[in-house]
A and B are shown apart, each in its own frame.
Chain A
């Protein structure tokens, strides 16, 4: 099965371990949670962290922290992710609606501005596609789980 990584709102190919990597590296999960990888050929040793719960993963490797999603890729080549699922994650208020019904947008295009906890956030398109219907109005209070808009991914 192939996977795709989604980090920082961007998608990226999830590289599977090559036969070479598989043969050369031996992994050990240490008490405490670190994973130590040892290269059986060169004796190079590397310590990193990787944990996954459902689709979400958290990693620390070479001093860098990453967190994101690991998404299975179906045969058509696009991730099995419901891009049209725009729901409010936390209570807030709709500050501004930046798109209208029927509008086509590029990947990462800002769709709505949400205000929560004294900050403003942009809700962005996770894929290129079409805004079918905006389901909220400016100034509206949001409750978690509330659907913001209907969205259809562009055909790949």
Chain B
């Protein structure tokens, strides 16, 4: 592959994902540009880049493109979040003659809306959550039966005009349907002046499973297997793995086939993810497509051996000659956890402070994608994710063990984190078994929320802490505020190296 001269890549994002993309750029001989918004001057990605520029906001598309033009950037990677799925940004970038490392703007428009994406999926025969809209007063019993059979039980009856969960009713059998529907229609009429009902199939004990895809933009594409992302706290993914455990081969095959249909239909370009709900019988339903590189992409990289960012760059550099990777089956198993600066015992409130010490796990099968450094101030202006810890191993059992090890070896001090919460997940029998659904972390089966989650050291452990205090080796050696300059950091490390041996009373 021959590179065009003087390629320059800007990441229109921050923190760990910017750092991760910079690594790929370095490996491909491309220079890097970071942007930073006010309050993010001390962030790690700003240290890493070859060139940096400040912007008022990571959401200011116009300003970011202006900076890119000024610095003669040749490609922009949007990361995830921020502008990554805003088609107007992709359009602005390409209009400026800069390559956008992601899908085409029109694909984002087509697949961005949940309803529009569902319509495309239905048209090409990808299963979506079945639904029906009906006016009870104009529906015969036979029609009602037909509609409800098509939706499938259990189903939810909702007011078509309503929002949220108001007046939602669950129905398990046809015998219950008519009386329940009549009540719901009356309620809907009273509340919204419209008695039209909306039936939706209820996916029970749903698992969130998604397929990573990569398309060349001409309709050709590959899938890079699936990820299980069912461990979510209030719809926020916490633990992701690849491949999905205990998945029927027929389901897996169906997921891959329908994902590839969507790639072909949309002539998808670059990396994307097709999200599904899977019920306990293995039926799957398309929910949405994420038209970007995702937070959890490293687990796919670990089992496929494909560096997704390399592929994105390669496709942009040589679109005509680009060949898709050829994959047969996933190798081993990978798990990712998201480390957040938040306090699980107090409603997951974001924690602020200055990072004063870091010990990272390393060793076989351990990958760390991080956005924090010692001396860095964690505020509340940005997302509280500080790092992603990814492990891979030949088997799932070993990957879980490895995650337990990696969490055990990781220390973050100066800010509160969810490390203890992650350890609790990693050691839970249901997680070890791999039998979870999207409700699990929020359910009473898991001690994660509602103040239940409050570990307390034992008396013997407190005694150890007291001994450390008595010996005078407890002080965290970081400067108390701001970014530690490099000479201070050097001294700090020197300070930590002093060994206090054999101190007894």
State which residues 442-459 of B face A: CB under 8 Å. 451, 453-457, 459
How extensive is the interface on chain A, given as a class?
A: 35 or more
Write the nearest CB–CB distance from A59 to chain B, whole angstroms: 6
Does A18 reach chain B (CB closer than 8 Å)?
yes
Contact with B along A14-37 (1 / 0, CB 8 A): 111111011101111111111101
A64 touches B411 (CB 8 A): no
In angstroms, Cα B328 to Cα A86, docked, is 58
By a CB distance below 8 angstroms, the chain B residues around A15 are: 459-460, 462-463, 466
State which residues 384-421 of B face A: CB under 8 Å. 384, 404, 407-408, 411-414, 416-417, 419-420
In angstroms, Cα B272 to Cα A30, docked, is 45
Q: Which residue of B lies closest to A116 (CB)?
A: B380
Given A31-B497, A51-B474, A66-B420, are A5 and B413 neighbors across the interface (CB < 8 Å)? no
Does B500 reach chain A (CB closer than 8 Å)?
yes
B347 touches A50 (CB 8 A): no
By a CB distance below 8 angstroms, the chain A residues around B347 are: 119-122
Given A51-B357, A60-B411, are A37 and B475 neighbors across the interface (CB < 8 Å)? no
Does B266 reach chain A (CB closer than 8 Å)?
no
A59 touches B457 (CB 8 A): yes
Write the nearest CB–CB distance from A47 to chain B, whole angstroms: 10
Given A23-B504, A28-B501, are A61 and B475 neighbors across the interface (CB < 8 Å)? no
> Which residue from B462, B497, B500, B505 sits with its C-beta under 8 Å from A23?
B505
By a CB distance below 8 angstroms, the chain B residues around A63 are: 404, 407-408, 423
B346 touches A9 (CB 8 A): yes
By a CB distance below 8 angstroms, the chain B residues around A27 are: 467-468, 471, 473, 500, 503
27 contacts between A and B (CB under 8 A): A14-B465, A16-B463, A22-B467, A22-B505, A25-B464, A29-B496, A30-B499, A32-B496, A33-B357, A46-B464, A48-B461, A49-B357, A49-B411, A49-B413, A52-B474, A53-B356, A53-B414, A57-B474, A58-B411, A58-B414, A60-B411, A61-B461, A65-B419, A65-B455, A66-B455, A121-B349, A122-B347
Q: Which residues of B contact A (CB under 8 A)?
A: 343, 345-353, 356-357, 359, 379-380, 384, 404, 407-408, 411-414, 416-417, 419-420, 423, 451, 453-457, 459-471, 473-476, 478, 480, 496-505
Considering the complex of A and B, which 9 residue pairs feature the smallest CB-CB distances, nearest first?
A8-B345, A8-B454, A58-B413, A15-B462, A90-B380, A65-B420, A17-B466, A51-B476, A53-B476
